[in-house]
Structure 1
């Protein structure tokens, strides 16, 4: 579903997807985190699996949960997450985009 506005009720969870396709070389990985401004409203943007594997080439899936007692309104295009990039000491033997079955379909 490509909704422009979503109302997320208390304790409700939805799956989202980054607008940007994240492409990393085989010697770099990243960590995806929610922005703190949303945490202060009681919204968890990325519940688990924050590592973006070396060699990834896909959109990242977001597990968005409303932990607050109030309904939260989300708009398409909101800047809800951020990436921290990390260079690794040697290139990945099996880059994720080449060997990750699910990664190729996102």
Structure 2
């Protein structure tokens, strides 16, 4: 699942994104150059070329930390925070390409 940041979207879409995966591995929230926010399974570490092609990405959410999955999807505070951070950093970055804001 992905959120198209160029369209109308809300914290409910963030909740659906978080609910679309299980907290059974490490994940990273990424925003592609074309404005799609998605969770990347970090079972395979991306190479430098992949990362440089991204608009930005957030810190890694390690397995078992409850930043993804059904529990995270129900956390309105977390979903609102992610919504705010995505809006602040797309289309223009507020800070560095690697964001550690959660």
Q: Is the TM-score greater than 0.5?
A: no
Higher strand share: 1
- TM-score, normalisation: structure 1: 0.31
- TM-score, normalisation: structure 2: 0.31
Higher relative contact order (CA 8 A, sep 6+): 1
